[in-house]
Structure 1
Amino acid sequence: MSDPEPIDELTDKLGIDDTDTRREARWELVDRGENAVEPLIEELEADDLKTKKDAAWVLGKVEDPRAIEPLVELFGDDSVSVRKKAARALLKIGEEALPAMVEQARSGDPRRQKIALWFLPDFEDDSIGDVLFEALDSEDPLVRRNAVRAIGLLDVDDAVDHLLDAIKDDDWRVRQWAAYSLGLISRKTGATRALLRAVNDESVHVQYAAIVALGDNGRKSALSRLFTKLRGDDMILKVAAVKALGNIGSRKAVKPLIELYESGDDYIRSEVVMALGRIGGAREIYDILVDAAESEGVHDAAIHALGLLDTKRARKLIEKFDE
């Protein structure tokens, strides 16, 4: 058996154009474990982006705490892809890397804060609410956006009050994620009112997020706003409203959805029959699903919707149309 290749020769192969050679070198360095950590840390300072990303990837696989601080230093790198690779490596290292991530979130440097706040939810530690709330005071809208996103994903204590403030932010990206986050964590009346207002936000991105959130929350108080979106011209918002109505599951939505089915193209009709399948219960739904099952462009969606109904009649129709 030949002697193992020296570590410095393996690190020299990081970042080269030959993809197969790079891959083999990375995995060989992973196998070398702690013996490769110091040489890999040196490679984090390379000028070549691919070399830095390869080294960060291997360090994440090795999971050695010695790499935490050097990886954190990459949060200041000019390359977004390098910063993301470093953050993912820190996630692999695990809980020992959390204090360093928190420090970056509090650093006051927007570049470092943005990457830390984006990845902090992946540590699944809901005790860092104060860190996230502090970031909401940043002058950088993307720092605020990432903090709002993290608040929703982690469902930290006192989240709703902060999100209700964030949904009034001057920047649409912050408002958008505030709406998504409220949909994830809250069925409180105040949150619903804020989302209903956001359905008419000046930004279509915020409108979309609010529609999705109302559907996720299953709020029947949103029905009239969603019916209005069914009659609108924006196809993306219209489809979002259809899906939200399906999630809410109110039979009051059946008639407006059938009207949309009768006037829509195959794309919108497919979305409507899926929503009707989630609502279920109404006799007229079966007539629409039979019509859809007989239509080539909507057939598959209709069969899936019948499966969602899961009734004796629906099962017989599936057998009939799947023959």
Structure 2
Amino acid sequence: MTKGQEKLSVDEAISKLSDDDVELRKLAVNSLEGVEDEKVIEPLIMALNDENTPVRHKAAENLGNLNGELGDLAVDRLLEVADNEEGEYKRFASFALKASGSDKAIDYFSKSINDEDFGVRKVAVRSLGELKVTSKIDDIEKIMLEEEDWGVRLAAIRALGDMEVEEAITPIKKARRKEKDKDFKKAANKAIKKIEKSIKKK
């Protein structure tokens, strides 16, 4: 099987995920897109720790898109990795959990908004918004007001917008008043409009 071919078989792709050639690893992980088979879970979990960012990203995406019982199995393994690893490995496991949209990850994301890694905090905050965990509005408000990393604060604004509930509007306005950055204020306005639009539809 050569690099020029568009897609590898499942078994070939699994084998090539650990190849020294990064182009073959990219081909391998792309070949596993949409494959619903338990045997791809562990190789994709390992690929989350690949030295190449596109490989890690695609592996996370593939894991997050697994459905049904396979999706549950993947989430369980991802939670193990996220709880026991650090650095890029933990970040991309968190990203895969976010992509899964699984309620099983809510507890993990709830504690990870205080993780020492800003990348993990950012994913955790956005995930709580997408999962509409309204019980965490106060915690996310605190992040908007106190978090040092601008990207995490921005993620918090967007997360509250994703909640689509009226009680998220006041915290956003409070953060908007405090923040001087124009892009942040723009994101705050967009989040408020998203909430107001959602409320009107209900």
Q: Which of 109, 113, 116 is the aligned partner of 1:163?
A: 109
- 2:120 maps to which of 162, 174, 177: 174
Residue 137 (structure 2) aligned to one of 192, 198, 202: 192
Return the alpha-carbon distance in structure 1 between the equivalents of residues 171 and 48 of structure 2. Answer: 40
CA offset digits 1:227-256 (Å, max 9, x no partner): 23433321221111011100111xxxxxxx
* SS of residue paired to 2:33: helix
Matches within 5 A, 1:1-323: 40=1, 43=2, 52=3, 54-55=4-5, 57-59=6-8, 64-74=9-19, 77=21, 79=22, 82-91=24-33, 94-96=35-37, 98-105=38-45, 107=46, 110-111=49-50, 114-115=56-57, 116-124=59-67, 125-127=70-72, 128-189=74-135, 191-200=136-145, 201-231=147-177, 232-249=179-196, 278=197
* Greater Cα offset, 124-133 or 237-246: 124-133
CA contact (8 A) 1:180 1:213 kept: yes
CA distance in structure 2 between the partners assigned to 1:216 and 1:152 by the alignment: 14
Q: Is the 8 A contact 1:129 1:157 kept in 2?
A: no
The answer as to whether partners of 1:198 and 1:210 remain within 8 angstroms in 2 is yes
CA distance in 1, matches of 2:141, 2:127: 14
Report how many residues are paired.
192
Q: Output the CA distance in 2 between the equivalents of 1:229 and 1:89.
A: 44
Q: Is the 8 A contact 1:160 1:186 kept in 2?
A: no
Residue pair 2:60, 2:93 contacting (<8 A) in 1 also: yes
Gaps of 5+ in 2: none
Q: C-alpha displacement at 1:280, in angstroms? A: 9.9
Which letter does structure 1 place at the counterpart of 2:127?
A: S
**d(CA) in 1 for partners of 2:117, 2:42:** 24
What amino acid does structure 2 have at the position aligned with 1:245?
Answer: I
Question: Does the Cα contact within 8 Å between 2:112 and 2:120 map onto a contact in 1?
Answer: yes
Asked whether the equivalents of residues 179 and 195 of structure 1 are also in contact (C-alpha less than 8 Å), the reply is yes
Describe the SS at the equivalent of 1:73.
coil
Distance 2:48 2:171 in 1: 40
Secondary structure of 1:178's aligned partner: helix
Kindly state the Cα deviation for residue 68 of structure 1 after the two structures are TM-superposed: 3.1
Distance in 2 (alpha carbons) for counterparts of 1:82 and 1:234: 43
Which structure would you say has the larger RCO, counting Cα contacts within 8 Å and 6 or more residues apart? 2
In 1, Cα distance between equivalents of 2:88 and 2:166: 32
* Cα distance change, pair 143–219 in 1 and its aligned pair in 2 (3 A): farther
Residue type of the partner of 2:60? L
- 1:133–1:245 Cα change, 3 Å: same
* Residues 1:83 and 1:122: Cα distance change in structure 2 (over 3 Å): farther
Summarize the Cα distance change of 1:210–1:83 in structure 2 as closer, same or farther, 3 Å threshold: farther
State the AA in 1 paired with 2:185: K
Max Rg structure: 1
Q: Deviations over 1:155-213 (max 9, x none)?
A: 32431111011111101111000011111113341x22222222121111111111111
What is the rounded CA distance, in whole Å, between the counterparts of 1:126 and 1:194 in structure 2? 28
Secondary structure of 1:91's partner?
Answer: coil
What percent identity do the matched residue pairs reach?
A: 25
1:258-299 Cα distance to aligned partner (Å, 9 max, x none): xxxxxxxxxxxxxxxxxxxx4898xxxxxxxxxxxxxxxxxx
* Aligned CA distance change for structure 1 residues 178 and 67 (closer, same or farther; 3 Å): same
Separation in 1, partners of 2:164, 2:48:
39
Q: Work out the CA distance in 1 between the residues paired with 2:61 and 2:173.
A: 34
CA distance in 1, matches of 2:132, 2:30: 29
